[in-house]
Structure 1
């Protein structure tokens, strides 16, 4: 059990003074708790005076098992994402995907990686497939993957308008998206279709064509990589106004630029999310880009946080994520209000970062290997140097 007292918590678009009490994996109270009760219950207390408390950040698109080697062959493949890379940036929920490489990077590997993150205490999901359409699945279909494999919440990232994948036929794309949707209905999962928008001249034309001839539920579509051109942003805004969710990734670390373009063009702000696209970069770049936008570009934390939290939770259909409310998951990040440094990170009621130091083991008890598999030793060395 954890008690965060004297905090400025982010709730419904603004910061309010409050106290937070968590038990197990959930937030149980957002109010003061009697100190005698705290002592009797052996509660861990954090004084959050001078701090903001925000929901754990959600990363809706990253290459959890590592990125492909398309920039230089096998030796250019990026390493699998570490837990420390997420925790140091306040990321507590993430969705892994395969990309162009569905040959040396496989779905069983991706699912296993997500399950490992869940076992440790973060929340990790994944999509089935990759750029290919029909998607490469674990079972015989997208529908069965979504229904029977706990970590899989949808299909993706299916590529359109990209030289690295054939443009999917409308039938194959519709089949994949309907299977994800129906699989989600039958298993009480989100059933998302995660779409990779490439840099080709067709941009989002295939999605528009699809909606002309098939009945597709717009809010189950999440379109990523929209920050390639102004023309693509304009088309993404059109899709957002239809009800789709759209996503700016941090591959080029240019969030502020494309966010301004999106806003200036009148894009629906409640339909916009941000992802790390980690593989080359790190999930923690979500926090660093957000922090930079506030400290150096005149944006406020209140206006930007929804794109990293509640919007993403809505896009992914995760009803207990993205907000600080009673009975929501206890995913909380405590930030020093003066310098915007992350002090504490709590995921599903478990402390992962305390006073800027990692507080979980960096290798399995049964291993004699000296590998720092989660990147914790290196990060703690940086903090203490």
Structure 2
């Protein structure tokens, strides 16, 4: 952390307007924001580039891909955390909630095996000062796993746990309402015989029916007792949202239909979608498009999901004429809104007293490009 820094001649993106101005930083915090340029010899001249708050990413699967780059391959978890962090910081993300799955799934049966190595890799890298972004945890709880509650309990009081979500990836509902389409996808992912897959699917659907509701209720109770912001996942129907709202859920993560998103808005849940969905022009699973939700005013938060660098690009894409967000509104979806949703009130906007988590962005042939990043006033990229 440096004592002071001046960033000037920038297009400063504030929560409600863009100004041409200067930001003063002192002891890792934003000290002053003003219009006009600074003549201080040590000031960093942005030459008209954008200065925006550091991005806050509530959901990225990037770490898992570094720990397990290929099926059956395990990578050193500390080095994986560092490689993941390099990808995160170069994408302009200064606060990231690393998505850690608790509970195996049909597609990812090895997730329970890599759970602790992933978390310990982050803890060790943090403790040794090897990370440039602020890494916290988003614990994703698969309610069809019979051990999910006992596996989650040690994390409930962990200060790194910033968010939790409850998920049910069994087919015939939510993300995968079309059972035959689900079967075809699973056969493309894994070398299974059709009869073996049918048995596995039947067991998963039975687990959803028999233990899913019990596990969900137990997880929600633990999360609420610890004050952990809670998200639902892949909501499909109004009933899904009604249940989530009654449980104290604050974030509707990846709703799969307009019906669910509209119900989430009515119940006051923040609606989160993935940036690849915006960039690709639709969901890779065939569910509702994030841009279509945005056009109806049903989008509050954007997370990187599985492509960190797409997060900044998606915010600028929201300013397209056919979607209609102004730049400040679009930038709030990746900064202030996610920070607020999980109680990180010390960041997410450029304002006096906030953490000096800042990103310099220039447009290159229409693409937003991260030029520099500061984390608590220290240049980290």
**TM-score using structure 1 length:** 0.70
SS at the partner of 1:17?
strand
Q: Which of 95, 107, 110 is residue 97 of structure 2 equivalent to?
A: 95
Map of 1:174 onto structure 2: 217
Q: In 2, Cα distance between the equivalents of 1:91 and 1:18?
A: 23
* Structure 1 unaligned blocks of 5 or more: 185-190, 354-385
Q: Which of 6, 9, 19 is residue 6 of structure 1 equivalent to?
A: 9
Map of 2:333 onto structure 1: 307
Q: In 1, Cα distance between the equivalents of 2:277 and 2:20?
A: 36
Deviations 1:323-348 (A, max 9, x none): 11111111101122675432211112
After TM superposition, the structure 1 = structure 2 runs for residues 181-260 of structure 1, keeping only pairs within 5 Å, are 181-184=224-227, 191-197=228-234, 203=237, 205-209=239-243, 211=245, 215-219=246-250, 222-226=251-255, 228=256, 232-252=257-277, 254=279, 258-260=289-291
Map of 2:63 onto structure 1: 65
1:153 is aligned to 2:162? yes
* Structure 2 unaligned blocks of 5 or more: 177-200, 283-288
Q: In 2, Cα distance between the equivalents of 1:311 and 1:34?
A: 29
Q: How much has 1:93 moved relative to structure 2?
A: 0.8
Q: In 1, Cα distance between the equivalents of 2:349 and 2:281?
A: 23
| Number of equivalences | 322
Q: In 1, Cα distance between the equivalents of 2:364 and 2:152?
A: 47
After TM superposition, the structure 1 = structure 2 runs for residues 1-385 of structure 1, keeping only pairs within 5 Å, are 1-31=4-34, 45-67=43-65, 73-74=71-72, 82-99=84-101, 100=105, 101=108, 102-113=111-122, 116=125, 119=129, 120-132=131-143, 142=152, 145-147=155-157, 149-156=158-165, 158-159=167-168, 161=174, 166-167=207-208, 169-184=212-227, 191-197=228-234, 203=237, 205-209=239-243, 211=245, 215-219=246-250, 222-226=251-255, 228=256, 232-252=257-277, 254=279, 258-267=289-298, 269=299, 272-278=300-306, 282-294=307-319, 299=324, 300-336=326-362, 340-353=368-381
SS at the partner of 2:345?
coil
**For the aligned residues, what is the CA RMSD?**
3.8
SS at the partner of 2:380?
strand
